[in-house]
Amino acid sequence: TVLTFPCYRWFIGDTKVEIREATAKTPMQDSLPQLLEHRRKELQERQATYRWVTWAPGIPRCIDAKTEADLPQDERFDNEKRSDFEHSLHYALLELSLKKLAIRFGKSWNDLEDFKRIFWKLRSPIAEYCMEHWKEDWFFGYQCMNGSNPRMIRMIQKLPENFPVVPNMVQSSMALGTHLDIELKAGNIYLLDYAIMDGIPTNTIRGRPQFIAAPLCLLYLHPDNGLMPIAIQLEQNPDRDTPIFLPSDPPLAWLMAKMWVRHSEFQVFQLLSHLLRTHLVVEVFCVSTLRQLPAVHPVYKLLSPHLRYTLEINCRGRTQLLSSNGIFKRVVSTGGEGLMILAQREYKVLTYRSLQPPRDFADRGVFQLPKYFYRDNSLMLWEAIHSFVSGIVSLYYHSDEDVTEDQELQAWFRDITQEGFTELPNFGLPSRLTLEELSTLLSVVIFIATAQHAATNNGQFDWCAWVPNTPCTMRHPPPADKDAVTMEMIMATLPDVSQSCVQMAITWHLGRAQPDAIPLGQYAEEHFNEGRAQEVIDRFRAELKEIEEQILGQNEGLELQYLFLLPSRVENSITI
C-alpha cells in the first residue's frame, strides 16, 4: 500500500499550497494502522499549535494568541483581505477626522440637523431612510423585528411586576374598542427588557462620566399600524423617581425615552448579539475543530469553510476594539469594565435552545408577528442548512453508535463542552451526542457563522450610521421629569461630534460588503470529492437559489427592503 499523508501543506512566500486526501473518513473508516497513526500525529501537532486560553473568566474561552501576529499562517487573512481591512479602516477614519476638523472638535451639536454634517460619502439607502424616519413610532417597532438586533422582542401575557403600566395610560394607543387586558390575552403585547444593563459600570471618557439606563419598553401590535411602542420606563426599579413615558407625552420627552432604549440596544446588540452570540461562540468551534479533528475527518471538512478568518478577526477585535485602550474605551458608554461584565451576565444565561431559530422563536412567542422578515428568512435558511448537514452526516454515520464510537468526534465534543464553554452549567447541550444531536449541533454552528452573523453584522451601518437612532454612549443621565426635556438636553446627552464620527467609521468598516467574500454554500476548496457528498452540496445550492428567489420576491415593491439574509449576501464564515 502506498501510504500518503492525508494532507500535505506548505508555503511559497505567502501562498499556501495544499495537497489533501479528498475522501472524508472517520477514524473507523481509516483501517490501516499507519493512517491512524498519522491522524494521531496530526492532532498532536495541532494541539501544540492551537491552545485554549481564558481571555476573561465567565465567557467562552478562546485561542491562545496575544495578537493576530501570533496565529499560524493557516489562520491569517491573506494579503488582499489584510490590506483591504486596514485601508478601509484608515479611509473611514481619515474621512471622518477631516469632518471633525471641519466641525468644531469635541463639541456637542446644536440640533439634530447637525448630524447631517457628517453624513458625507459614507452612505447607504437604509441609513438615509433611517435619517428621515427615525423619530416615527412604527419605525422603532420595525427595527425590533428587522433591524440589527432582531432577537430581543418577546410576547408577554402578563406585565412584569416592576413595570406598573395601567390600562388607561396606554388606552389612547389602542385600536378602537379594545383594551390592554384584552390585548395581553390576545397575544398582541410585546416587551423589550434591558434588565441586563442594570448597574453596569459606566465609562469615563476624557474625564467625563457616561451614563447607562436599563429600560423596559412595551409594544402593541396595532391592527392597522403594526408594532408600536406604547410605554417606556428607563429604570428597572419603579420606586426610583422614574416616570413611564408615553407617546402622548411632550414630543421631545417621548423621543428622548426612545433614544435611551436605542442606546441600550446599541450595547446589547454589539456586545451580546454580535460579539458574544456570534464571534465568541463560533471561536469555540474553531479551536476545538482545529485541535481535535484531523483534516480528513468529515466534520472537519464540513466545518472548516465556515471557520475561515474567524480567529484573526476575533484577535483584532480583542486587541483593537475591546481592549483597555480600544475603540469601546474611547467612545462607548460600556467601554472599560462594563463590556465584560455585560458579556459575563449574558453568558450565564446563554442557552443552546436560544441558538436554534425554531426554538428561539417559539420561546419568545413571536410566530404571530407580521412582517418579521428576519424570522421568516432565518427559518428558511435554518431548514436548508439542517437538511444539508443531515445529508452529509448520514453519509458517514448510520447510527448513534457510529457517533459514540468515533473517539475523535467525542474528544471534539468534550473540548467544546469542557474546554470552550466552561462554567456554563445551564447551557443545555445534551451530555451524549446522538446522530440527530450531531446534525443539530453542526447546523447551529453553520447557521451562526453564516446567517446569524449576517443578520447582526451587515446592517450595522444602515441602522447605526444615523447616530441619534442608535447612540453608542449617553453623556447625561436619563431625564427624571418629562416636562423638562429640551432640545439642548438631547444634544448634550447624545454622543459628541468626535464619538459620532467614530461610530460611523467603525460601523461602516464592519458593515460594508467584504470584497473577498465567499457566499454561503460556495467553497473555495474541494473538501469532499465523493460523488454522494457532491450531490448533497448541489441540493443545498439549489435550495439556496430558491430561497434567494423567494426573498427577492418578498421584497419586491417594499419601501424598506430586508435583504440581509439573501443567500448571495450571506458570507460562509465570520470574517469581519
According to the binding rule CB under 6 A, does residue 317 interact with ligand OYP?
yes
Segment interacting with ligand OYP (CB under 6 A) among 129-137, 272-280, 343-351, 371-379:
272-280
* 27 within 8 A of 40, measured Cβ to Cβ: no
Span of 208-216, 255-263, 406-414, 499-507 interacting with ligand OYP by CB under 6 A: 499-507
Residue nearest to ligand OYP (CB): 317
E strand or H helix at 389? helix 373-396
Beginning with the edge strand found earlier in the chain, give each strand of the sheet holding 244-245 in spatial order.
Answer: 154-155, 189-193, 216-222, 226-233, 244-245
CA distance 48 to 69: 17
Determine if 506 is a binding residue for ligand OYP (CB under 6 A): yes
By CB under 6 A, residue 455 contacts ligand OYP: no
332 binds ligand OYP (CB under 6 A): yes
Instruction: Please state the φ and ψ torsions of residue 119, each to the nearest 5 degrees.
Output: -90, 60
Report the residue from 149, 264, 304, 503 that binds ligand OYP according to the rule CB under 6 A: 503
Q: Are 234 and 215 in contact (CB under 8 A)?
A: yes
Give, as ranges, the residues between 386 and 445 that touch ligand OYP (CB under 6 A).
Answer: none
DSSP state of 467: G
Q: Which is nearer to ligand OYP, 58 or 358 (CB)?
A: 58
Answer whether 409's CB lies under 8 Å from 299's CB. yes
Contact call for residue 502 and ligand OYP (CB under 6 A): yes
Going by their DSSP bridges, the two strands 208-209 and 189-193 should be labelled as unpaired
| Binds ligand OYP (CB under 6 A): choice among 189, 321, 403, 544 | 321
CB of 327 to ligand OYP, least distance (A): 5
Q: Which residue has the cell 429600560?
A: 215
Establish if 467 lies at the interface with ligand OYP (CB under 6 A): no
Query: What is the chain's Cα-based Rg?
Result: 25
Q: How far is the CB of 560 from ligand OYP (least distance, A)?
A: 23
How many residues bind ligand OYP, per CB under 6 A?
20
CB of 471 to ligand OYP, least distance (A): 10
CB 307 within 8 A of CB 282: yes
Among 274, 306, 308, 345, binds ligand OYP (CB under 6 A): 274
Judged by CB under 6 A, the residue of 472, 491, 544, 566 near ligand OYP is 472
320 near ligand OYP, judged by CB under 6 A: yes
CA 365, CA 371: separation in Å to the nearest integer?
15
- Is residue 255 a contact partner of residue 235, using CB atoms and an 8 Å limit? no
Binding to ligand OYP by CB under 6 A, coded x per residue (else -) over 508-547, reads --x-------------------------------------
Distance CA 576, CA 85 (A): 9
Instruction: Find the binding residues for ligand OYP in span 45-104 (CB under 6 A).
Output: 89
The SS3 call for residue 350 is coil
Stretch of residues binding ligand OYP (CB under 6 A), selected from 55-63, 66-74, 267-275, 533-541 = 267-275
- The residue range among 3-11, 269-277, 446-454, 539-547 that interacts with ligand OYP, by the rule CB under 6 A, is 269-277
Of 46, 82, 154, 316, the residue at the interface with ligand OYP (CB under 6 A) is: 316
What is the grid cell recorded at 2?
A: 502506498
Query: CA 356 to CA 171: how far, in whole Å?
Result: 37
What one-character-per-residue DSSP string does 106-158 give? TPPPSSGGGGGGG-SS---HHHHHHHHHTTSHHHHHHHHHHSS-TTS-EE-SS
Q: Is 230 helix (H, G, I), strand (E, B) or coil?
A: strand
Among 173, 334, 356, 507, contact with ligand OYP (rule: CB under 6 A)? 507
Q: Does the protein bind ligand OYP through residue 566 (CB under 6 A)?
A: no
Out of 24, 331, 343, 389, point to the residue binding ligand OYP (CB under 6 A): 331
Q: Smallest distance, Å, CB 16 to ligand OYP?
A: 23
Binding site for ligand OYP (CB under 6 A): 89, 270, 274-275, 279, 313-314, 316-317, 320-321, 327, 331-332, 472, 502-503, 506-507, 510
